[in-house]
Structure 1
Amino acid sequence: MELLEQLCKIHAPSGNEKKLSEYLLNYIESHKVQWKTMPTVVYGDEFQDCILLIFGKPRTAVFAHIDSIGFTVRYGKQLVRIGGPEMETGYKLVGADAQGEIECTLHYNEEEHELTYEFDREIERGTELVFKCDFRETEETVQSCYLDNRLGVWSALQVAETLENGIIAFGCWEEHGGGSVAYLAKYIYEQYGVKQALISDITWVTEGVHAGQGVVISLRDSLIPRRSYVQKIVQLAKEAGIAYQLEVEGSGGSDAKELQHSAYPWDWCFVGAPEDHVHSPNEIVHKKDIESMVALYKVLMEKL
């Protein structure tokens, strides 16, 4: 869990993923020689802060977004949300501007719908603030800000260790409207002919999805994947004896929206562990669900 903790602490809100992208490139460079298959690492200006790992002869691509929710400093003490963070007075926020490091307190006025910060000076406009990381681990759970989606990234890195054929795509902007998966999907389809995807992200604990009962295979959220593809994934999970849960939601979304809306015939399925206290500093995931997530991804990348 040390790697996961490090990932959760890196400042990378939507639109400013550079630090995490650089960290991942360094991690990949130092670890890829120990992996079963040495990947081709694709990155550069034409991919902005995204990274592609190409293993062998790929048939399936895993998409994991590296950005997080947060806040942008507006004018005076005002804040504007990045994505959909929980807003509760007292949350600790951190960041930095030209005057130095920042640790301030979130203040939310529900009646006025006014979002501000409390700090001993005015923070420069445009500065991004994120939840202060307090990583907590027990025998059964991990708890921290930004398990969505640093856990999805961590899981993909575990899968990379034994992956022979496949693509892992680390994308940006998912929490605030997307934008990177469209050009990544175009490149992957045109260069490698790959048109089936798995979305390595974190979903919700709900009345029908419970912590500790296995990775979630989503039958739908605000979008509906092609049924035959999802059924194939469910069947592979059954055959492998991996604990899983089926999710049906009418809202929410992921990187899949750019695949479904693209001009290419992508099949996709959201496969990820469920968390509670979503989009807060206290996101919590059961370790059994993390284990089954990694196990299922390894099976799917081999069998799909």
Structure 2
Amino acid sequence: MKELVKKLVETYGPAGDEEEISRVIQTEIEDYVDQISKDPMGNLIALKKGQSADKKVMLAAHMDEIGLIATHIDDDGFIRFSNVGGVSPHTLIGERVLFNGETVGVVDKEGKLEKISDLKNSKMYIDIGASSKEEAKKKVKIGDTASYYRNLNDLGDRITAKSLDDRTGCAVLIKTLKELDQPTYDTYFVFTVQEEVGTRGSKVSAYGINPDLGIAVDVTLTGDMPEAKRMAVSLGAGPAIKVKDATVLANPQVKEMMVKLAKKNEIPYQLEVLKRGGTDTGSIQLTRDGVLAGALSIPARHVHSPSEMVDINDLKNSVQLLRKILVSNYNNLI
């Protein structure tokens, strides 16, 4: 699992530029599926045929990551930028970023900062080592995107890296697919694009698949750090079964089905009530005339920073629970 996550997180793929990470994932899964395709948005859709084709199940994990986008290059070769997704300027000073998977830059701010609240993207720039606009434009063009430039570090049971949101969800889907003989129903493993800029990929893919049941796998916040907001989710205590976030009230029957299977198979789990933020679950639920939808969330610290952190056991238990879900009879849920 760690080697798989390392491969995924160290692959370039900000929202809107998911081609490289899509190729890596496709190579991992193509020998384990019955059909694989891409839709016009770029969602990677893999079908694993089930014992019955009467119903359709959709699992979704987004393969895009937060990033930056070049908006201006000045005469001295410094690059101005905007954010792609939820990037806080407070995480950027001194940070290295990677444009187009190949050009490294360093983020810095203008002048002296009187107070941290004054720090804005508009007062920051990226230095790619160029001495002029002409030299910079040979490496970076307006509209090019950048991701954090960080490797994965193994801390034992915990790992830290950029883009664990949501490459860990992608890893869980990949491992589930590889360990799954045959699901009960036709199951679509969807690696979605542009989640970080408004769950756009899942809107399109869910509409095309029209599933009877949809489950998103993504990260969630924790309440187990100093002065953290109170939240009953901790690293290492098991995957979190979503009850609510800012975009969705998980279907109570789906939530209860997941809880029962976790208890029956002695898989540790937590319940997640997230006050802010959302996942692909929200857009899946609202597809066409509505879809039974839920989510399996991976507890993560320092989300949307260059050094997110998860517990590898939560990933392994997520795979176990997903496998049990996919081979169950769904308790007449669908």
Q: What SS is found at the alignment partner of 2:317?
A: helix
Which amino acid in 1 is paired with 2:159? V
Counterparts of 1:96 and 1:212 in 2: how far apart (Å)? 34
Counterparts of 1:118 and 1:200 in 2: how far apart (Å)? 36
CA contact (8 A) 1:80 1:115 kept: no
Alpha-carbon deviation of 1:112?
A: 5.1
Task: Give the direction of change, closer, same or farther, for the CA distance of 1:47–1:264 in structure 2 (3 Å limit).
Answer: farther
Partner of 1:93: 97
Unaligned runs of 5+ in 1: 33-38
Alpha-carbon deviation of 1:250?
A: 2.1
- TM-score w.r.t. the length of structure 1 is 0.89
Pair 1:268 & 2:293 matched: yes
Which amino acid in 1 is paired with 2:43? C
Task: Give the direction of change, closer, same or farther, for the CA distance of 1:115–1:297 in structure 2 (3 Å limit).
Answer: farther
Which amino acid in 2 is paired with 1:180? G
Counterparts of 2:100 and 2:316 in 1: how far apart (Å)? 35
Pair 1:197 & 2:214 matched: yes
Counterparts of 1:289 and 1:27 in 2: how far apart (Å)? 21
Which amino acid in 1 is paired with 2:291? W
User: Cα RMSD between the aligned structures?
Assistant: 1.8
Q: What SS is found at the alignment partner of 1:142?
A: strand
CA contact (8 A) 1:134 1:145 kept: yes
Alpha-carbon deviation of 1:116?
A: 2.1
Alpha-carbon deviation of 1:299?
A: 1.0
Pair 1:53 & 2:46 matched: yes
Task: Give the direction of change, closer, same or farther, for the CA distance of 1:216–1:119 in structure 2 (3 Å limit).
Answer: same
Partner of 1:81: 83
Counterparts of 2:157 and 2:250 in 1: how far apart (Å)? 32
Superposed, 1:147-226 pairs within 5 Å as 147-163=164-180, 164-165=182-183, 166-189=187-210, 194-206=211-223, 207=230, 208-222=232-246, 223-226=248-251
Task: Give the direction of change, closer, same or farther, for the CA distance of 1:244–1:15 in structure 2 (3 Å limit).
Answer: same
Which amino acid in 2 is paired with 1:177? G
Partner of 1:36: none
CA contact (8 A) 1:43 1:49 kept: no
Pair 1:42 & 2:36 matched: yes
Which amino acid in 1 is paired with 2:61? A
CA contact (8 A) 1:85 1:279 kept: yes
Q: What SS is found at the alignment partner of 1:214?
A: coil
Alpha-carbon deviation of 1:138?
A: 2.5
Which amino acid in 1 is paired with 2:46? L
Counterparts of 1:41 and 1:92 in 2: how far apart (Å)? 38
Alpha-carbon deviation of 1:42?
A: 3.0
Unaligned runs of 5+ in 2: 74-78, 131-135, 224-229
Alpha-carbon deviation of 1:162?
A: 2.8
Counterparts of 1:111 and 1:48 in 2: how far apart (Å)? 37
Which amino acid in 2 is paired with 1:297? L
CA contact (8 A) 1:51 1:169 kept: yes
Partner of 1:140: 157
Partner of 1:35: none
Give me the identity figure in percent: 21
Pair 1:115 & 2:132 matched: no
Counterparts of 1:293 and 1:96 in 2: how far apart (Å)? 32
Counterparts of 1:146 and 1:73 in 2: how far apart (Å)? 20
Alpha-carbon deviation of 1:246?
A: 0.6
Q: Which has the larger radius of gyration?
A: 2
Task: Give the direction of change, closer, same or farther, for the CA distance of 1:111–1:293 in structure 2 (3 Å limit).
Answer: same
Q: How many residues align?
A: 289
Partner of 1:230: 255
- TM-score w.r.t. the length of structure 2 is 0.81
